[in-house]
Amino acid sequence: MRAAVLYEANTPIVIEDVTLVGGPGRDEVLVRIAATGICHSDYHVVNGTWHGEDYPLPVVLGHEASAIVEEVGSDVKRLKRGDHVILSFVPTCGRCRFCASGEQHLCNGMAFKMGTLADGSRRLHKGDLTLYHFGAMSSYAEYSIVHESQAIPIPSDFPLDRAALIGCATMTGVGAVLNTAKVEPGSTMAVFATGGVGLNVVQGGVLASASKIIAIDLLDNKLEFARSVGATHTINSRRDDPIEAIREITGGVGVDYAFDAIGLPKVSRQAYDVTRRGGTTVVVGMAPTGDQILIPATIAGSSKTVKGCFYGSTRPSIDFPRLVDFDRRGQLQLDKIISKHYRLEDVNEAFDALHRGDNARGVMILATA
């Protein structure tokens, strides 16, 4: 099969013929990748900001995807050949403390570690070279094997490009609002960085009936994207101080909830600074390796809460179908998030566009139903 292989950071990704060894195990599913998103998490590996033993190379990237089931293992009962699925990059055991308490996104009961599939194995080969996996799936390839918990069935008439977004950007952004922060109706929000995740934080604010949704970015086109999906105010932080601007918008109080959707320490601190006393700052974006956030000791007196948000605090089997339903009813606008479709061989062009900030979200199409 064809796959996009990254051999070294800051070098072009290469389209290769690789081998996916073996069929699905008893609790696994072989899927044909239909669509897969161009995400900053993959780009962190491409440009080397994520590095070290947690991000081994060479690797087949990709973790935001929809797929079609080709074959199921002997113990898999809820899926069958031909099913359309959204893939989750967090395999879940259903038995560990986190799964039992409804925090499946934090599951630690699987053998999975960075660079492997859910069972801890590596099954991608280029000749004698064993490649690493990403997101327990490596969706920048024509096929993948995933644990059954990672394949969430959806209606066969739901567009597969939109479905791919639910696998990461939409789940992370909307989930940050609904699941992690639990934003109340009438609340005020600030969203720093309106890429694929940030735009879905904005949409989460609309779903939560926030009264003010303030979008902050460096690029005017990103702010236009944010307005198109529900932002009530926009601030270009290249021209205006976002802290002063948000204080003016909120009458000097600050926002109830501030979301850092990019994960840079400077931005996280800005989000903290615009959060009102007693409010909540949510760090959604994934920071470069080794970065730290400086929080002032006055946090005690301000009674602010700082929360990390991993994968929108998702329960995939519950949340993915719910997001599909939101989109089908027009309560999400996933079609507006997709700016451009790419082919697998366009992967480097797609990442260049991501770096420039051209797209709300680029999606690679590998197969149709």
Do 262 and 195 touch, CB atoms closer than 8 A?
yes
H-type helices in the chain, by residue range?
A: 40-46, 97-100, 160-166, 169-175, 196-207, 220-228, 242-249, 265-274, 299-302, 316-328, 334-337, 347-356
Side-chain-side CA neighbours of 240 within 13 Å: the count stands at 16
Structure tokens at 38: 């161009």
Please pick, among 40, 41, 105, 144, the residue that the annotation labels catalytic: 41
Q: Residue 40 catalytic?
A: no
Nearest to 63 by CA among 20, 33, 94, 84: 33
Please pick, among 168, 187, 237, 268, the residue that the annotation labels catalytic: 168
Q: Residue 63 catalytic?
A: yes
Q: Residue 41 catalytic?
A: yes
Please pick, among 63, 133, 147, 233, the residue that the annotation labels catalytic: 63
Q: Hey, CA dihedral for 363, 193, 90, 177, is it positive or negative?
A: negative
Burial bucket for residue 302 (CB in 10 Å: 0-12, 13-18, 19+): middle
Q: Residue 228 catalytic?
A: no
DSSP per residue over 79-96, as a string? --TT-EEEEPSS---S-S
Please pick, among 44, 84, 133, 233, the residue that the annotation labels catalytic: 44
Cα–Cα distance for residue pair 29/261, rounded to 1 Å: 32
Q: Residue 44 catalytic?
A: yes
Task: Work out the number of other CB atoms within 10 angstroms of the CB of residue 147.
Answer: 25
Catalytic machinery residues: 39, 41, 44, 63, 168
